[in-house]
């Protein structure tokens, strides 16, 4: 009998890769010392493999546990380091061969402190087809007494719920229950692994007084909003519906530990923040910045430019202030109408412009509440600049376009203008010319009627002019339009439509899709760091008196305004082809790969974006087709159905009754849904985020606030405008401290971290054990590299004037950067990270 046991018992060699605590944590030295003491006293890190063939005698629904194995030589760490931060340890398992290949393992940390478990690899395992068995973990392991149940990790084999090996089904469900938290109450601790939902009720600080209070977003028809991650913090004393906030310098906001930034990312984030915000804290820089800007607007010189080099984005400024011996005012690229219009197609916010389909433009606001809000722009305003066309001809030829912020802003304009902001709701009309560029025709500036909103709007129309006070007035009109667009970009295009809407998908996926579910494996890279950056945003950016309220024109009404826009958000319209059709900038074309044809051929965001969209959809189609052979497989997937139900009824609960949600009854539903999620998290976010520093770092190009209204003839302000247009311009746009604070923030937001993982890349080559999906992912990467070449080629093609424009900066915001593994990071102006990570 003993000989039989010897024959079936074998030694299995494994390698465990771990990383100790955050390098920025100064307590780590003491923690490491205590861990060594624990190790010497036999309190070690143990691992038990779980059989996929033999049931546990104590619970026949689970696989049998193997004997405990321990990480070897923890104290001396004799194993060579994988990287500067990671260490590989040997581990040897005694394993009964009859138990078959392990499907999972349990790990118990009996040390004093936590560590990051990256992976376990078992080599030369019989039954493993001669290759290694990989367990990709990527999780923080706290001391075992912190957990109510064991930490379990599964091999990298993907299983639909119905195909899961019987002996790990219960473990699969138990792990999901742990992540749901079972309605856990009280404030969550850093070792809690709970994903749950909450309203945006933590933006205000009502205990400080009514001026710091903010309405709860989400949970009501009046103020709907996507849900955020729950923290469990206590309510405020003065308002039980509002959640208390941490001290400003306390960045330890709860998100599940595995959603926190890596130490590399956090190091980068703090370093970038320190570098940027330091500029705000040095008064000399602030004074120099605005003094120099005033000078350079009128007459640049080498001394001034050398000073400016240190405080604003020089790469952009070098192009904007090309000094060829003539006055900057006459040669500044950012002031040209062509650049103003081009940035609607290839700038920071290229997702709003639409085709004008009726003239004059009409409002969709409720006339019973807001009166007549239709446009006052008429043919006589625009036809003199329409290159010989009349309005009817231009409409028929799809030549008229509009940047329309009127309806979004008008309901809030009275309140916004009660603050230090003085601004308008704007409409900008443009003509598509034969060379593919857009030509501004008119800008309408509207205010609510002085007798009340129900009396409609009062509007003025401004048309292009180059010289004299008329030219200065036109520059101010463009500035007011840019202020509208800057605020809409930051609040809606960027925050709401990428950061906020994607967080419920992250929560639902972790609560309802097991880590071994193929759709979890597909989507998980696109959720990296999002909950953490959103928590930081609630803490310092979008909160009451936060950076956004201080630097963007809607001020204290910013988030409330974004809630009103969310009322019109439609998930299925986030698909790029549908978005382009909805805005009228494309028409249906069955012959096209994406089913659409652009009406503006040289629309860099759309041209590059459609190629990216197509590549993502092809990848998702190939991946989903491998696991889902037909529609019934989707219908009977219990986890997918629970995921989709919870996403609609809880995550985006204020929109649960909308008819446009996919039914999730077909494979096509699943493919389209996953494609949209990946598109939003990767390419859409990249397009509206990483251009902030290049395009908005020079504030006259993208002012975020206007401090006074358009000067009226006969006033002192009008006389000042006529005498010194540049001084008047700077007095109108964002003030000094706000400018520096805003530039500091957008510099941070535009940085790629040095651990960035781009679209078409994964953090581990062993993310799945299935060969066909691995091959499909390789094809996806190759397609993205081809798109990189296409973008370079188009940027070098002089026929496409919108690719570089007067500022001569190539459009690279949708350059995937899949081919780049240098991990250099920084201000590159290109690259599509997998996720909304900054």
Establish if 142 belongs to a structural domain. Answer: yes
Q: How many CA atoms lie within 13 A of 689 on its CB side?
A: 25
**Are residues 782 and 622 in contact, defined by beta-carbon separation less than 8 angstroms?**
no
- Which helix or strand (DSSP H or E) is residue 213 part of? none
Establish if 292 belongs to a structural domain. Answer: yes
Mean pLDDT of 365-373: 96
Task: Please indicate whether residue 499 is annotated as part of the active site.
Answer: yes
Establish if 797 belongs to a structural domain. Answer: no
> Do both 425 and 381 map to the same domain?
yes
> Do both 299 and 377 map to the same domain?
no
- The residue out of 180, 200, 235 marking a domain boundary is 180
Q: What share of the chain in percent tops pLDDT 70?
A: 87
> Do both 25 and 165 map to the same domain?
yes
Choose the most confident range, by mean pLDDT, from 107-116, 540-549, 565-574.
565-574
> Do both 292 and 315 map to the same domain?
yes
Query: Worst-scoring range by mean pLDDT, 79-83, 202-206, 633-637, 748-752?
Result: 79-83
Catalytic-labelled residue, pool 499, 520, 524, 539: 499
Mean pLDDT of 794-823: 94
Residues with Cβ within 8 Å of residue 802, at least 6 apart in sequence: 342, 345, 346, 436, 437, 602, 603, 604, 811
Instruction: Please report the pLDDT score of residue 300 as a whole number.
Output: 44
Mean of per-residue pLDDT scores for the chain: 89
Instruction: Please report the pLDDT score of residue 262 as a whole number.
Output: 82
What is the C-alpha separation between 589 and 585, in angstroms, rounded?
Answer: 13
Give the tens place of pLDDT for each residue, 253-288: 999 999 998 877 776 676 666 655 554 444 434 444
pLDDT over 50 at 559, yes or no: yes
Establish if 402 belongs to a structural domain. Answer: yes
Establish if 735 belongs to a structural domain. Answer: no
- Which helix or strand (DSSP H or E) is residue 482 part of? helix 468-488
Instruction: Please report the pLDDT score of residue 77 as a whole number.
Output: 56
Instruction: Please report the pLDDT score of residue 745 as a whole number.
Output: 85
Query: Worst-scoring range by mean pLDDT, 414-423, 461-470, 738-747?
Result: 738-747
Mean pLDDT of 800-810: 94
pLDDT over 80 at 308, yes or no: no
Instruction: Please report the pLDDT score of residue 699 as a whole number.
Output: 83
Query: Worst-scoring range by mean pLDDT, 152-166, 296-310, 381-395, 645-659?
Result: 296-310
CA angle 47, 52, 54 (to 5 degrees): 95
Give the tens place of pLDDT for each residue, 665-719: 999 999 999 999 999 999 999 999 999 988 988 888 899 999 999 999 999 999 9
Write out the E strands in 517-658. 586-588, 596-598
Give the tens place of pLDDT for each residue, 618-640: 999 999 999 999 999 999 999 99
Instruction: Please report the pLDDT score of residue 33 as a whole number.
Output: 62
What is the C-alpha separation between 614 and 761, in angstroms, rounded?
Answer: 17
The backbone region for 585, taken as left when phi is positive above 0, alpha when psi lies in -120 to 50, beta otherwise, is alpha
Establish if 706 belongs to a structural domain. Answer: no
SS3 for 448?
Answer: strand
pLDDT over 70 at 206, yes or no: yes
* Residue length of the chain: 838
pLDDT over 90 at 803, yes or no: yes
> Do both 17 and 165 map to the same domain?
yes
Domain with residue 67: its CATH number is: 2.60.60.20
CA angle 778, 521, 790 (to 5 degrees): 35
Establish if 574 belongs to a structural domain. Answer: no
What is the C-alpha separation between 509 and 647, in angstroms, rounded?
Answer: 8
**Are residues 210 and 544 in contact, defined by beta-carbon separation less than 8 angstroms?**
no
- The residue out of 488, 518, 535 marking a domain boundary is 488
Instruction: Please report the pLDDT score of residue 289 as a whole number.
Output: 45
Catalytic-labelled residue, pool 111, 134, 406, 494: 494
> Do both 161 and 277 map to the same domain?
no
Q: Where are the alpha helices (DSSP H) in 181-262?
A: none
Mean pLDDT of 522-533: 97
- Which helix or strand (DSSP H or E) is residue 180 part of? helix 166-180
**Are residues 103 and 50 in contact, defined by beta-carbon separation less than 8 angstroms?**
yes
> Do both 467 and 360 map to the same domain?
yes
Question: Read out DSSP for 586-630?
Answer: EEE-TTSTTSEEESSS--HHHHHHHHHHHHHHHHHHHHHHHH--S
Write out the E strands in 200-291. 228-229
The two structure tokens encoding residue 84: 């500067």
What is the C-alpha separation between 543 and 61, in angstroms, rounded?
Answer: 48
Task: Please indicate whether residue 494 is annotated as part of the active site.
Answer: yes
Domain count, the chain: 3
Three-state SS string across 684-750, please? HHHHHHCCHHHHHCCHHHCCCCECCCCCCCCCHHHHHHHHCHHHHHHHHECCHHHHHHHHHHHHHHC
Residues with Cβ within 8 Å of residue 267, at least 6 apart in sequence: 23, 24
Token pair 């990480």: residue:
71
Mean pLDDT of 798-822: 94
What is the C-alpha separation between 148 and 185, in angstroms, rounded?
Answer: 15
SS3 for 51?
Answer: strand
Q: What share of the chain in percent tops pLDDT 90?
A: 73
> Do both 167 and 269 map to the same domain?
no
pLDDT over 60 at 149, yes or no: yes
**DSSP letter assigned to residue 17:** E
> Do both 362 and 388 map to the same domain?
yes
Query: Worst-scoring range by mean pLDDT, 30-39, 222-231, 380-389, 526-535?
Result: 30-39
> Do both 306 and 434 map to the same domain?
no
pLDDT over 80 at 768, yes or no: yes
- The residue out of 431, 465, 488 marking a domain boundary is 488
Range of the domain at 359: 336-488
Catalytic-labelled residue, pool 406, 526, 685, 752: 685
Give the tens place of pLDDT for each residue, 333-354: 888 999 999 999 999 999 999 9
Interaxial angle between packed helices 771-795 and 604-627, expressed in degrees from 0 to 180 and rounded to the nearest 10: 170
Catalytic-labelled residue, pool 543, 689, 701, 817: 689
* Residue with more model confidence, 750 or 430: 430
pLDDT over 90 at 122, yes or no: yes
CB atoms within 10 A of CB 196: 21
Q: What is the CA radius of gyration of the chain?
A: 29
Model confidence, pTM: 0.92
Confidence of residue 74 (pLDDT cuts 50, 70, 90): confident
Task: Please indicate whether residue 689 is annotated as part of the active site.
Answer: yes
Establish if 225 belongs to a structural domain. Answer: no
> Do both 395 and 434 map to the same domain?
yes
- Which helix or strand (DSSP H or E) is residue 89 part of? strand 86-96
pLDDT over 70 at 240, yes or no: yes
**Are residues 646 and 227 in contact, defined by beta-carbon separation less than 8 angstroms?**
no
pLDDT over 90 at 537, yes or no: yes
Strand order in the sheet with 115-122: 86-96, 9-19, 115-122, 133-141
Mean pLDDT of 329-333: 53
> Do both 316 and 409 map to the same domain?
no
pLDDT over 80 at 370, yes or no: yes
Q: Is the dihedral of CA 420, 422, 424, 430 positive or negative?
A: negative
Domain with residue 424: its CATH number is: 3.10.450.60
């Amino acid at each position: 009998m003993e000989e039989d046991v010897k024959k079936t018992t074998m030694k299995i060699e494994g390698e465990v890769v771990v990383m100790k605590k955050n390098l920025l944590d100064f307590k780590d030295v003491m923690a490491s010392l205590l861990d060594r003491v624990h190790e010497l006293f036999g309190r070690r890190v143990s691992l038990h493999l779980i059989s996929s063939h033999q049931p546990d005698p104590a619970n026949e629904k689970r696989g049998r546990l193997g004997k405990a194995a321990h990480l070897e030589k923890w104290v001396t760490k004799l194993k060579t380091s994988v990287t500067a931060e990671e260490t590989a340890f040997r581990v040897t398992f005694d394993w009964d061969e009859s138990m078959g290949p392990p499907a999972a393992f349990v790990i118990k940390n009996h040390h004093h402190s936590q560590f990051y478990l990256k992976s376990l690899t078992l080599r030369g395992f019989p039954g493993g087809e001669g290759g290694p068995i990989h367990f990709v973990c990527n999780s923080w392991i706290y001391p075992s007494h912190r957990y109510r149940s064991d930490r379990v990790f599964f091999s990298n084999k993907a299983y639909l719920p119905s195909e899961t090996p019987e002996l790990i089904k219960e473990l699969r469900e138990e792990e999901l229950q742990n992540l749901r938290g079972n309605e856990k109450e009280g404030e969550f601790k850093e070792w809690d692994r709970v994903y749950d939902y909450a309203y945006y009720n933590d933006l205000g600080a009502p205990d400080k007084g009514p001026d710091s209070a903010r309405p709860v977003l989400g949970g009501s028809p009046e103020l709907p909003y996507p849900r955020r991650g729950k923290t469990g913090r206590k309510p405020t004393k003065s308002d039980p519906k509002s959640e208390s906030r941490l001290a400003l310098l306390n960045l330890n906001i709860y998100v599940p530990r595995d959603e926190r930034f890596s130490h590399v990312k956090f190091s980068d984030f703090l370093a970038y923040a320190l570098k940027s915000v330091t500029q705000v804290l040095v008064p000399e820089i602030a004074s120099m910045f605005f003094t120099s800007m005033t000078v350079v607007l009128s007459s640049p010189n080498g001394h001034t430019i050398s000073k400016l080099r240190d405080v604003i984005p020089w790469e952009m400024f070098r192009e904007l202030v090309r000094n060829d011996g003539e006055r900057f005012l006459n040669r500044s690229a950012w002031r040209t109408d062509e650049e103003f219009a081009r940035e609607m197609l290839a700038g920071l916010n290229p997702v709003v412009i639409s085709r004008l389909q009726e003239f004059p433009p009409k409002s969709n606001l409720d006339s019973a509440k807001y009166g007549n809000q239709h446009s006052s722009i008429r043919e006589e305003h625009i036809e003199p600049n329409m290159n010989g066309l009349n309005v009817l001809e231009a409409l028929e030829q799809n030549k008229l376009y509009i940047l329309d912020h009127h309806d979004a802003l008008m309901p809030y304009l009275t309140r916004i203008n009660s603050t230090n902001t003085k601004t308008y709701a704007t409409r900008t009309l443009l003509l598509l010319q034969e060379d593919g560029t857009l030509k501004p025709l008119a800008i309408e500036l509207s205010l609510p009627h002085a007798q009340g909103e129900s009396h409609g709007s009062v509007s003025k129309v401004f048309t292009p002019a180059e010289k004299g006070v008329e030219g200065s007035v036109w520059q101010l009109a463009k500035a007011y339009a840019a202020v509208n667009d800057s605020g809409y970009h930051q609040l809606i295009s960027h925050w709401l439509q990428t950061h906020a809407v994607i967080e419920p998908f992250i929560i639902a996926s972790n609560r309802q899709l097991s880590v071994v579910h193929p759709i979890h494996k597909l989507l998980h890279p696109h959720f990296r760091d999002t909950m953490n950056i959103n928590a930081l945003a609630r803490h310092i950016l979008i909160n009451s008196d936060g950076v956004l309220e201080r630097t963007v024109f809607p001020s204290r009404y910013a988030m409330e305004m974004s809630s009103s826009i969310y009322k019109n958000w439609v998930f299925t319209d986030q698909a790029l082809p549908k978005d382009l059709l909805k805005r009228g900038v494309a028409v249906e074309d069955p012959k096209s790969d994406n089913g659409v044809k652009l009406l503006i051929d040289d629309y860099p965001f759309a041209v590059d974006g459609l190629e990216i969209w197509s590549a993502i959809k092809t990848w998702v189609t190939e991946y989903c087709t491998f696991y889902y052979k037909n529609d019934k497989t989707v219908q009977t997937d219990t986890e997918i159905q629970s995921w989709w139900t919870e996403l609609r009824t809880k995550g985006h609960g204020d929109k649960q009754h909308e008819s446009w949600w996919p039914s999730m009854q077909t494979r096509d539903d699943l493919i389209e849904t996953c494609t949209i999620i990946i598109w939003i998290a990767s390419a859409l976010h990249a397009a509206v985020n990483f251009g902030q520093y290049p395009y908005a770092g020079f504030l006259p190009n993208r002012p975020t606030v206007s401090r006074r209204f358009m000067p009226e003839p006969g006033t002192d302000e009008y006389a000042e405008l006529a005498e010194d247009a540049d001084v008047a311009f700077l007095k109108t746009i964002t003030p000094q401290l706000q400018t520096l604070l805003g530039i500091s923030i957008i510099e941070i937001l535009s940085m790629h971290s040095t651990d960035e993982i781009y679209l078409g890349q994964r953090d581990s080559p062993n993310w799945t054990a299935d060969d066909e999906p691995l091959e499909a992912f390789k094809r996806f990467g190759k397609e993205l590299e081809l798109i990189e070449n296409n973008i370079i080629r188009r940027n070098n093609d002089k026929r496409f004037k919108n690719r570089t424009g007067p500022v001569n900066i190539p459009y690279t915001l949708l350059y995937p950067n899949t081919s780049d593994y240098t991990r250099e990071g920084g201000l590159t102006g290109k690259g599509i990270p997998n996720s909304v990570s900054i």
